[in-house]
Amino acid sequence: YENFLQSYIDESTAVTFQDVNDLNDKIRPVIKHLVTENFFRIFRLNLFKECPFWKGDGFCMHRSCAVDTIDDWEKLPDIWQPEALGKLEDSVLVKKLNADAEYSSKDYCDLDGFIHDTVFVDLVANPERFTGYGGDQSWQIWKSIYNENCFNLGHDQCVEKNFFYKIVSGMHASISTHLSNEYLDTTAMDYKPSLVQFMMRVGNYPDRMANLYLNYIVVLKALIKLETFGIFDDLTFCEDLNFVEKENEFKTRFKELLDPALEFSECQNECLFDENILFKEKNSASVKDEIKQNFKNITRIMDCVHCDRCRLWGKLQTTGYGTALKVLFELTDKESFQLDLSKIELIALVNTFDRLSKSIESINNFKAKYDEAIRKE
């Protein structure tokens, strides 16, 4: 295991598993706190959108599959009040939707599900955990994600397509880690970590673990890029002038979050993850378009998930990864960031990073449990 920790996560990075563990120890308290702030904890989505790929054949009846929505507008923070929405949200999203009709859209996500017939959800009150969703229904979703959208892993294919597969597999591993970490203990009727579930789903598969760690540095690199372009400095988190103090606090928190990564090594963020090694060959433009379309399809497949709680977190995380890919591969100057990044994408990106950070923390807790179990044997 020590050798594993010292090995590089992927050929695209000079970072080891141990480096990420150390980095995450510093980052974890900051991101954990950030996602409890009103701006990041309220998510808006359409939970009733029909599956565009096959006829709906049921839904999850477990109570744990349900999502509690916020029905009282007054309980929503200022940024989501109707007058603020008009200013901040819709201009970017509506523009995006129009642009989406064109072939050249920069988006890797289908953002349509964030405009019409939406509900508001408090993410903290609806944690990602074991729901009991499974069997043929979830199998069909994962199968169509891998079979139809992840190209042909293991066969002769370009590095970009392998990278795409790894992102999806890392997301799957992270979801599996969360549901194992908050698994329903039917004796105590409480949610507790289950080492058995974790080993079955992730722990026994070094490749799945590596893909999850890769996702961590990819999403972190996207956040660093936003910071480098001064996007967090320009963000208006709150419309009300009384909240200027809060806004400054957020900006300080983003610095606290990203400084450890920037200081991480002498070669700085080029070592963390170098996105420039991808899409540099002759046929790159068409490969990129294909990947963009396939990732968009994955965000649409989320509308086929029968369990609302899983759909919520699936939609949030696919949007978060799609946003990270867009930031890394499409946005090259400050203007494009300002014109092409909506509030919902930023919220999804930050929460997706929190999911990955929590997964890394859980993996290390599971490792400690595993070591203890071995010692006792």
Question: Which residues bind to ligand FAD, rule: CB under 6 A?
Answer: 128, 130-131, 133-134, 138-139, 141-142, 169, 172-173, 175-176, 179, 208, 302, 305, 309-310, 313-314
Question: Please, which residues bridge with residue 70 across strands?
Answer: 120
65 is annotated as an active-site residue: no
CB 141 within 8 A of CB 297: no
- 211/269 with CB nearer ligand FAD: 211
Euclidean distance between CA atoms 151 and 169, whole angstroms? 13
Nearest residue (CB) to ligand FAD, 133 versus 353: 133
Strand partners of residue 43 = 121
**Could you tell me the smallest distance in angstroms from the CB atom of residue 312 to ligand FAD?**
8
Number of other residues whose CB lies within 10 A of the CB of residue 111: 21
Q: DSSP secondary structure string, 165-211? A: HHHHHHHHHHHHHHHHHTEEETTTTEEE--HHHHIIIIIT-HHHHHH
CA 111 to chain centre: 15
CA dist 104 and 97 (Å) reads 12
Minimum CB distance to ligand FAD, residue 314 (Å): 3
CA torsion sign, 311 to 316 to 317 to 323? positive
In angstroms, what is the minimal distance from the CB of 142 to ligand FAD? 4
- Measured from the CB atom, the residue of 4 and 139 that comes closer to ligand FAD is 139
The tokens for 21 are 């563990």
DSSP label of 124: T
Residue 176 or 294: which CB sits closer to ligand FAD? Answer: 176
As measured in angstroms, the least distance from the Cβ of 85 to ligand FAD is 27
- Strand segments, DSSP code E, in 71-135 are 119-122
Least distance from C-beta 193 to ligand FAD, angstroms?
14
Closer residue to ligand FAD (CB): 29 or 134:
134
Let me know if 307 is a catalytic residue.
Answer: yes
Q: For residue 250, give both structure tokens.
A: 């957020």
Active-site residue (options: 109, 150, 238, 310): 310
- Choose the catalytic residue: 60, 65, 109, 307: 307
Which sequence positions are flagged as catalytic?
307, 310
